[in-house]
Each structure stands twice: as structure tokens, then as C-alpha cells.
Structure 1
Amino acid sequence: MSKSFPKLGQRGPLLTQKRQMKMARSAHAYVRGKTSRFYEWLGQADASLPHGPPVWICGDCHVSNIGPVANADGDVEVQIRDLDQTVIGNPAHDIVRLGLSLAMAARGSDLSGIVTAKMMEELIEGYEQALIGKPGSGRTIRQRPESIHLMVRKAIRRKWKHLAAERIEGIEPNIPLSRKYWPISADERRELKSLVASEAVRVLATALSRRDSKDQVRLLDAAYWVKGCSSLGLLRYAVLVQVGKDKDPESSLCLLDIKEASRSVAPRDSGAVMPKDNGERVVSGALHLSPHLGERMLAARFMGKAVFLRELLPQDLKIDIDHLSQSEAMDVAGYLGNVVGRAHGAQMSPEQREQWLKELGRNRSRTIDTPSWLWRSVVQLVQDHEGGYLEHCRRFAHVTA
């Protein structure tokens, strides 16, 4: 990218173009960036889906939104890692969304339809296993596949220097402007400085076990962050913060991700009581679905809009299944289903888990161990999204020609 960066009023069109470009890269990328299309289809088919007890759901439960996440003490678990769309709703929506994501990833990796069918079987079996006992007990937890196990081990070993090299392209206490980081206006910098100076942000930044809770924090640098896909165009900032006076970057440097919280497109339960503020909604969903992440998040107001903040940690990684073998893809599908099932099941009473298991067990085919509602939904969604993806590419190619 040249030294010329867009001004505040020019961001919108450029970010829209970048979002369209990202979604054109692959059918799976289109699925990740087109949550609204998923729920448009679901609105027509929802009557055929089972309705579980209303719990906090991810709302955008695709593969890349699950991965290793660290808590404030440095413990690492695989949990849901993106809660922008979270609502109190039907847990079946997360199952179908994850099934679609797995199926599209399998097609993009040239895995056969037979493998995709087996992945759906493993997905629902892993999910159901999470509901068969007391949340957190050994019988509810599926063993990690080797690829996931290696990723967790890698996450545990990672340090600040790894995060800095990936996120800010160096270990110096600044954020170099680039195609990913754009300059901010004087008004944005002033509001960011005020936000960082608040007691709530100080508490968040000093929450990690290796920091002193009495430490003061100050803003070192900030930039507009060109990141994400469906969220491109919303406010988003990378903010580098100094915590205390220690010179060790491992404990003194803090990289905050500040992101606008917009209204979720996922349908909510009609009787659900949720925070009206979208930032508070995201944090509440995170605390229920991904405690490791939720305890590191904060809702706030910025530039008159709802936002949420989280400190990025080196241990936070996303799962990539684009290059797995057939057997590994099936194992990962079962494991991810189990992760989502445990996040849902932890919010249910024993009676609700038992009833939900019975509901999930209905309409099983004699030839395939996947509920007919899940298999039918995934097949129809794959057809719908592949057609939508090709049409998106045709339009985008015409615009960029």
C-alpha cells in the first residue's frame, strides 16, 4: 500500500470493496461473510428445525469462530472466540451454522460428499455427548484430535513477541501504518485516549495474573484496524497500551481490540431478556458461552456507538481445517460439535439437557446417523450459498473489471 491513506469520510466505500473481495476468495469465505443470507434462508426453514431450550448461542458458529482461548490466568481451552452475533435463541441454529461451515470447508478442500456426510454424523454425536452428563464431567468431553491438540500446545507456548509479529508486524511499542492499519482522526485519538484513561479499562488491562492490579495504563499508539469480513465497515481499532512501568513487554504491553457492536441478525427467543446495549449483549453472551474470553471483555461507548473491548493474547488462535485428511476432518467435526454442545449444555438444567437430547434424537434415518433436519438443512444451505457465491463473484468481477 502506498503512503496515501483514506480519510475518515473515505473509509466506507474502500471497506465495502475489501469485504466484497474477501468474500469472493472462496465459497467458505462467502459463508463466513454472509451471516445475513444464512438467517434469511433459516427464516423460511425454521419450522422444520427442533427448538431447544432458549440459551445464549453464538449466532455465527462457523469453524473460524472456534479455537484456543486463554483466560486471565493463562489457562487455555478451545472455546467459541467470536460473539458479535450472540443472542438468547434456539441452539439448533448454531448446530446448522457449524454444519454448513464444515460442509463448505470440506468442499473447498476437495473432500468427498461421503466424508461430508460422515462429518455431519460426527458433529451431532460430539454435540450430543456434551449433554449426557454434568457439565464439565469427563464423559461430556470429547478427546482432542491430534491437529487440535498440537494447536493448543502451540498456543500455550506463545509469547507477546509472537502476537506482536503477527498483529503489529514488530515488537516496537507502536503500530506501523499499513494496508491493515490506517491513521485515525484527531477526534478518534482524543476519544480513545479518554477511554483508555477510564477506570474500567484500567481494571481490564491489569486483570492478567502477571500484572499488578494497581498499575496505571496509558495509550501508546492506535490505528483504525482493517480486519474481519462481515464486520468490515464497522468501527474497529487496534490500541497499544502501556501497563505499569515494567520494561518487559510480556507484562507491560497490552494490545486492545475495540470493535463496534451492531445489532445481531440472529433471531432471538421471543421471551428472552437481554441487554439492550449491543456491547453489553456481546459481553453477556461471551460470559455464558466462552468464559475464558468473556472475563477479558468490556462493553463501552465510543463516538456515540456501542463497542466492546478485549485484550488480544498470544494464546488466542483460530482453527483452520482447509488442509486436513479425511479422518482428521471427521474427528475435528465431532470435536467442534462437542465444544459447542458444552457451551450450550452448561446453561441448561439436567431436565432441559435430557429433553433436548430426546428432541435431537428424533427423525434419524436408518442409513445415516444424522438427524434428517440437520442433513436436509445443510444440503439446502450448501446449494443456496454456492449459488449465492457464484453470483457474488459475477457481480464483483463486473465491478472490478
Structure 2
Amino acid sequence: MTKRSARSPRCPAPSQRQPVLAEIQRQKMARSPHAYERGTAAHFYAWVESRSAGTLPDGPPVWICGDCHVGNLGPVADADGEVAVHVRDLDQTVIGNPVHDLLRLGLSLATAARSSDLPGVITSHIAGALLDGYEQAFDDSRSDETSRTHRPKVVRIAMEEALHRSRRQLARQNIDHVKPFIPLGKRFWPLSDNEKLAILALLESESPTLIRTVLSKKLNAEPAIRVLDSAYWVKGCSSLGRRRFAVLLDVGGACSAGGPPCLIDIKEAVEAMAPIATRHHMPRDNERRVVEGARHLTPSLGDRMMPARLDGCAVVVRELMPQDLKFAAERLSELDAVRSAHFLAIVIGQAHARQMDAGTRKAWLAQLRMRRQKSSDAPSWLWQSIVELLVKHEAEYLEHCRRYALKRPLS
């Protein structure tokens, strides 16, 4: 590996990571109601489990995101670099009720509106736009309308940035250097010797099938793979505390020829919290479940992911493409909040719809429409659910802030 700079005092030793990561997670979740929502999938599904039978529509079992908040959607590139908006994080994917994705997205958008100081009536408009966009994905008569759907500002900004990013820009933004090493600091922490050896064994000694799968390059011959550097990656919110590694690879001597390294993401796969549909086969191993769900929901991402074992731990390995981005929705205008709800609901609806045959799509659309009084209004089950979730979420957020504030003096 390339010699790196001295370890920053901000970087804890591997044996001291967990309490530091727990504190970082608490700080992130205290920043705003929207930031708190990203780390509360378990609370959301506790609420789902408390509902009486028939309260929520029971949709046809399909692969769902399982943690469908705004930050888990964004521009995703396929192996050829073509970019489209898809689900981009599938840690919680299962075969389940598609309504759970719709509700989780609705709560995320409602908390984004709350964090943006938007009036309450916008939440009502968000709920209506959410279901209208979702239904649109299942209605063949509205296919032309879908192709003309206006992209909200938050989507346009992310897409423009994604389309103009290069691999060298990705290295600069994620690694802060174009040199082939990872500087330790706030985002990257040192690894133990055992972790380094495990990564070397996985990426240099395993079958080349693994590398061929996760790399987007078209490789005509077995490549020479060399691990340039690796580090623990402090990334995400709900996933903080899991094993997460950034790895720089030189593939086929590209770096020696002046090209940028490949950035590999190795992420621990853990048990999903979303309820699983009964009588449906799903991979038992978490790493295989995540990859299988990705291949159904976001094929362009799933096709460059690989389940693996890292020193006995279930992980998912993938190359990060320059165009892979998440949406930033901390400050939304009234119009953009509603347009975002409609647009992102279409994205989720299309991910669900392509897993259904024509008859199932038609029946599911009819079931959703049965519960609507007016085409422009959200049905009572959706509106009441979002309101209940918001009230529950606000109480939990304030309690989280109170507990966090008690441990830290006011500045």
C-alpha cells in the first residue's frame, strides 16, 4: 500500500470506534427533524406493526426499498455511465408490502417540509402529490404524462452534478486527493491489521469474478488488481457503527498510466427491519438479500454489486461511480416540496411496477383508487398515517434532543 500521512488526532483507534460513532450518530440525528427521520426505520416499522389489520392497503408482495427516505434516492449510473434517478441504498430491502415504501417516503418528505419551515398545508399537498405520482407509474394511459414529468429543483441540481462528475472529481470529493492514498481525518479512520489483511484477501486473492462484477469497466482479460489503500468510512446515519470500508484499487495498472483509482465501497449487510411477506422465497443471507433486492428495484446498481464475506462478516461490495449521488432536501420551497413528492413517488412506483405483470398492476391501481374520494386529495388512510407518524416522530425527535442536550452544555 502507498505510505499515508500521519494519523489525525480526530481518528479513534479501531478498538475505540463504537462509542465515537454512537456519539456522531446522536449528533447527526439531533440536527433537524428531517435528519432524525433518516435514522428511525425501526420506529417506523414499530408503528406499522401496531396498525390493525386493514388499516393500510395490502399491496402485492414485491421487493421494496424498506427504508425509502429521500436520502436513499438519487442519480445512479449503470455500467456504461448512463444516469437515471433510482433507489440507491437497499440495506433494508425485502419482499414486502409496497405501501411501506410509499408511507416512509411520505414521512421523509413531510419532515423535510417541517425542517424547511413550510406551512402545514404543504404537507397536505405533498400527500396528494405522493399518491398521484405513485398511481401514475401503474397507469398505462398516463405513460406520456410520466415522460413529461417536471423534475423538481432538488432533482435537477443533483442530475446536473451527476452528469458532469468525472472519476477524478469523485476521487477529489470523496478522498480529497488525486494521489492514490486515503488521508485520515473526519471521514476516514485507520484500520486494524486484521481488517487490512481481510480486505487484501477479499479483493486481491478471491476469484476475479468478484472484481469483474463490481467494476464497471469492460475488462477483456483477467485484470491485475492491487489494493492501494483502505480505511474505515464514517458514512451514513442509520448505518453508523456497522463495518464500512473505502478501498482504492489500481486495476490493470491504470494508476501507473496516470488514471484515477477505482473507489470500492464495502458495507456490512445486517438483518432487515421491514416486515417480510409470507410464503415468498427470499435469500436467507443478508448480503445476498441486499443484492437480489437491488437487482429487482435498481438493476443498474444491482448489476455492479456483489455479496461477499469479509473475515466472516456479511458485506456487499460495489464500485462507486462518479454519478452516484443522493438528494439534499434540507431546504425546500413550497413548489419544490410538492413536485419532489410527485416525482419521487413515480420513481418508487416504477420500481414496484416493473416487478408486476399487467393484471397485477391494474388490480393494485384499482385498489388504491378505491380509497380516494377525489383525485386531487390524499385518501384518509394516507393522510391520517402521515399525520400520526409526524406526531410520533416529533415527540421522539424532541426527546432525542433533550437527552442529547443534557449531556452537552449550551454554547
* Counterpart AA for 1:359: Q
In structure 2, the residue matched to 1:41 is 47
Instruction: Provide, for residues 155-183 of structure 1, a one-character-per-residue CA deviation record: whole Å limited to 9, x for no partner.
Output: 11210122112211111111011121111
* Counterpart AA for 2:408: T
- Seen in structure 2, the aligned counterparts of structure 1 residues 377 and 202 have a Cα distance that, compared at 3 Å, is same
Alignment of 1:343-354 (within 5 A): 343-354=351-362
- Seen in structure 2, the aligned counterparts of structure 1 residues 251 and 79 have a Cα distance that, compared at 3 Å, is farther
Alignment of 1:259-278 (within 5 A): 259-278=267-286
In structure 2, the residue matched to 1:192 is 199
Q: CA deviation at 1:13?
A: 1.2
1:206–1:213 contact (8 Å) kept in structure 2? no
Match of 2:174 among 167, 172, 191: 167
2:214–2:305 contact (8 Å) kept in structure 1? no
Match of 1:117 among 103, 113, 124: 124
In structure 2, the residue matched to 1:220 is 228
1:207 paired with 2:216, answer yes
1:86 paired with 2:56, answer no
Distance 2:52 2:249 in 1: 45
In structure 2, the residue matched to 1:257 is 265
1:132–1:140 contact (8 Å) kept in structure 2? no
Q: CA deviation at 1:205?
A: 4.7
Q: CA deviation at 1:187?
A: 0.7
1:318 paired with 2:326, answer yes
* Counterpart AA for 2:15: G
Larger deviation, residues 340-349 vs 248-257? 248-257
1:244–1:252 contact (8 Å) kept in structure 2? no
* Counterpart AA for 2:239: S
1:243–1:252 contact (8 Å) kept in structure 2? no
TM-score normalised by the chain length of structure 1: 0.95
Distance 1:321 1:309 in 2: 27
1:246 paired with 2:246, answer no
* Counterpart AA for 1:234: R
* Counterpart AA for 2:79: A
1:287 paired with 2:287, answer no
Q: CA deviation at 1:193?
A: 0.4
* Counterpart AA for 2:34: H
Distance 2:373 2:141 in 1: 29
1:95 paired with 2:102, answer yes
Distance 2:374 2:148 in 1: 25
SS at match of 1:177: coil
Q: CA deviation at 1:5?
A: 3.2
SS at match of 1:100: helix
- Seen in structure 2, the aligned counterparts of structure 1 residues 334 and 96 have a Cα distance that, compared at 3 Å, is same
1:65–1:318 contact (8 Å) kept in structure 2? yes
Q: CA deviation at 1:189?
A: 0.4
Q: CA deviation at 1:328?
A: 2.0
2:42–2:273 contact (8 Å) kept in structure 1? yes
In structure 1, the residue matched to 2:4 is none
Q: CA deviation at 1:325?
A: 2.2
Q: CA deviation at 1:248?
A: 7.7
SS at match of 2:370: coil
Instruction: Provide, for residues 51-90 of structure 1, a one-character-per-residue CA deviation record: whole Å limited to 9, x for no partner.
Output: 1100000000001111000000110010000000000000
- Seen in structure 2, the aligned counterparts of structure 1 residues 206 and 109 have a Cα distance that, compared at 3 Å, is closer
Distance 2:63 2:257 in 1: 36
Instruction: Provide, for residues 195-227 of structure 1, a one-character-per-residue CA deviation record: whole Å limited to 9, x for no partner.
Output: 011223321354324x55532211000001111
TM-score normalised by the chain length of structure 2: 0.92
Larger deviation, residues 92-101 vs 171-180? 171-180
Match of 1:61 among 58, 63, 68: 68
Distance 1:311 1:325 in 2: 34
1:6 paired with 2:12, answer yes
Alignment of 1:294-373 (within 5 A): 294-366=302-374, 369-373=377-381
Q: CA deviation at 1:31?
A: 0.7
Instruction: Provide, for residues 113-133 of structure 1, a one-character-per-residue CA deviation record: whole Å limited to 9, x for no partner.
Output: 111111111111111110012
2:10–2:186 contact (8 Å) kept in structure 1? no
SS at match of 2:50: helix
The count of residues paired between Structure 1 and Structure 2 equals 399
Distance 1:174 1:373 in 2: 52
2:305–2:316 contact (8 Å) kept in structure 1? yes
Distance 1:351 1:9 in 2: 54
Distance 1:60 1:360 in 2: 21
Distance 1:27 1:214 in 2: 49
Q: CA deviation at 1:143?
A: 1.9
Distance 1:113 1:223 in 2: 44
Instruction: Provide, for residues 223-243 of structure 1, a one-character-per-residue CA deviation record: whole Å limited to 9, x for no partner.
Output: 011111111111110011111
SS at match of 2:407: helix
SS at match of 2:249: strand
* Counterpart AA for 1:115: I
Larger deviation, residues 19-28 vs 38-47? 38-47
1:375 paired with 2:383, answer yes
Moved over 4 A (4+): 137-142, 248-252
Calculate percent identity across the aligned residue pairs: 47
- Seen in structure 2, the aligned counterparts of structure 1 residues 73 and 250 have a Cα distance that, compared at 3 Å, is farther
